[in-house]
Chain A
Amino acid sequence: MRISVKRTGGFAGLTRRWSVEVGGDELERDWREVIEACPWEAVPAQENQPDRFIYDIQAGERQATLPERELTGPWLRLVDMARRAAGQQSG
């Protein structure tokens, strides 16, 4: 499964991407629980605060866009894991 995070906005307006391909065993062991814990269907639509980041998160077929303020709990864990894993995969 491909898990990817695209972060846009922020004062600098720089787009950053982190993406990782996760195999079956690893998916079940490390990722499944946090992916299932994310409320993919219940992302609140609220206006972002000026210069805060916007996160576009994908895990396989599932996708969510959320303002930085909503990046808490399992969302934050998932993004942190994806960033760390992407850093390792790209060397």
Chain B
Amino acid sequence: MHCSIVPPYLLRRIARLERDSLQPAAEAARRALLRTAGLNRTRQAKVRQLSAVLPAPSVLHPGPEPARGPEAWAELAPDRQINDAQHGERLPGKRVRSEGRPPVADPVVNEAYDGLGSTFELFARVYGRNSLDDAGEVLRATVHYGQDYDNAFWNGTRMVFGDGDGQILKGFTGSLSVIGHELTHGVVQYTANFAYQGQSGALNESMADVFAVLVEQYALRQTAAEASWLIGEGLFTDQVSGVALRSLKEPGTAYDDDVLGKDPQPGSMAGYVQTSDDNGGVHLNSGIPNRAFALLALRLGGYAWERAGLIWYDALTGPDVGAQTDFAGFVRATESAAVKRYGRDSEEYAALAAAWAAVGLMD
């Protein structure tokens, strides 16, 4: 039952409005959708708990109820729409590829289409999540945004990609981790909805980075030990001395260049950056929870999306987080998630505590 007067399909249409003059209405509709999604999420979480569905074989509970969830997850399918801004800044731009249509001549369109698919795959097959809102929302992307636009962003309803400036950065669809990152901002919006400022903003960024590397690792079937743990590998032009934009495993080491300087991300609370730039350093301090995740996954070994990823996903989508959650609050949310799934005496819980301690977020 929906408590909202405006039906969800209409809210969706309003929320997608991109004309500036209509933004107040669109924002209001988005907030209403978030509330609705929250209600659905609570119900779905209950269903999930009741059916005790856990993908990792080591944690499957034997019992009279067969775990039926994952088979249903295999049938979840994405609905993708790719638009082309044709180097303008008007969104959404012209539709160039829809779900199920064959590849087009423009490789950037196909990269976006495939990247959206890979991101959908991780969330659906591993966590049973049906798109961003867990209700099958269309995945929307616009490519070729702006002139020499050296950025990619999430505007609340779609991911938007520039082609880069060609001097420092190349086109943003070239790295699957960028696509996974932007779409995860969409998942965050429908779940914890971490405010994009200060520590909650850094958590928003960190979630986007964590699930972005998991999208890549899942697509490549890489173990934690095999993975690069890099965000935006290959995005720099040859003129830049650097392998990627960020490293989850070793924040602060992704680049070191004459013009750009050195990767400024801290890997522990000792290096926490106080700044008013970048919404309070959201792309800087995200290095701290990023590294905690990488340490947890490396300590547990195997596929990072399984045990480490489940703890993070449970924390992100669970009841212990919200818009103003700070680092300490997120630590508690992951602890509670680990205890629920694996118990307080588990290897997983011990590894989690060690990971947070290593980044200075545990006494």
* Given known A-B contacts A8-B278, A13-B283, A56-B277, A51 and B153 have beta carbons under 8 A apart: yes
Q: Which residue of A has the minimal Cβ distance to B204? A: A50
Contact of B196 with A11 in the complex, beta carbons under 8 Å: no
CB pair B168 A14 closer than 8 Å: yes
Per-position binary interface string of chain A over residues 39-57, scored 1 when its CB falls under 8 Å from any chain B CB and 0 otherwise: 0000000011111111010
Measured between C-beta atoms, what is the minimum distance from B132 to chain A in Å? 13
Shortest distance from the beta carbon of A87 to any chain B beta carbon, whole Å: 11
| A74 beta carbon closer than 8 Å to chain B | no
B contact residues, range = 20 to 34
Residue ID in chain B nearest A53 by CB atoms? B151
Known contacts A50-B185, A54-B279; A11 and B178 CB within 8 A of each other: yes
- Pick the residue among A10, A15, A47 that contacts B151 (CB under 8 A): A10
Instruction: Tell me which residues from 12 to 28 in chain A have a Cβ below 8 Å from any Cβ of chain B.
Output: 12-15
Q: Does B52 sit within 8 A of A, measured CB to CB? A: no
B260–A14 CB distance below 8 A: yes
| B197 contacts A49, C-beta separation under 8 Å | no
Q: Would you call the interface of chain A mostly helix, strand, loop, or mixed? A: loop
The answer to whether A11 and B232 touch across the interface, beta carbons within 8 angstroms, is yes
B272 contacts A by Cβ under 8 Å? no
B326 sits at the interface (CB 8 A) = no
Closest chain-A Cβ to B180's Cβ sits at a distance in Å of 12
What residues on A are CB-neighbors of B156 within 8 Å? Answer: 49
- Cα(A49)–Cα(B153), bound, Å: 8
Interface presence of B321 (CB below 8 A)? no
Q: Mark B182-199, 1 if CB is under 8 A from A, else 0.
A: 100100000000011100
Q: How far is the CA of A48 from the CA of B178 in the complex (A)?
A: 19
Find chain A residues with CB under 8 A from B204 CB. Answer: 50
Interface residues of B in 193-238 (CB under 8 A from A): 195-197, 204-205, 208, 232, 235
Complex Cα distance, B102 from A55, in Å, reads 40
Residues of A within 8 A of B (CB): 6, 8-15, 47-54, 56, 65
Interface residues of B (CB under 8 A from A): 150-156, 168-169, 172, 178, 181-182, 185, 195-197, 204-205, 208, 232, 235, 245-246, 260, 264-265, 276-279, 282-284
26 residue pairs of the A-B complex, CB under 8 angstroms, read A9-B279, A10-B150, A10-B153, A11-B151, A11-B178, A11-B181, A11-B232, A12-B169, A12-B232, A12-B235, A12-B245, A13-B245, A13-B283, A14-B168, A14-B260, A48-B279, A49-B153, A49-B154, A50-B204, A50-B205, A51-B151, A51-B185, A53-B151, A54-B277, A54-B279, A65-B276
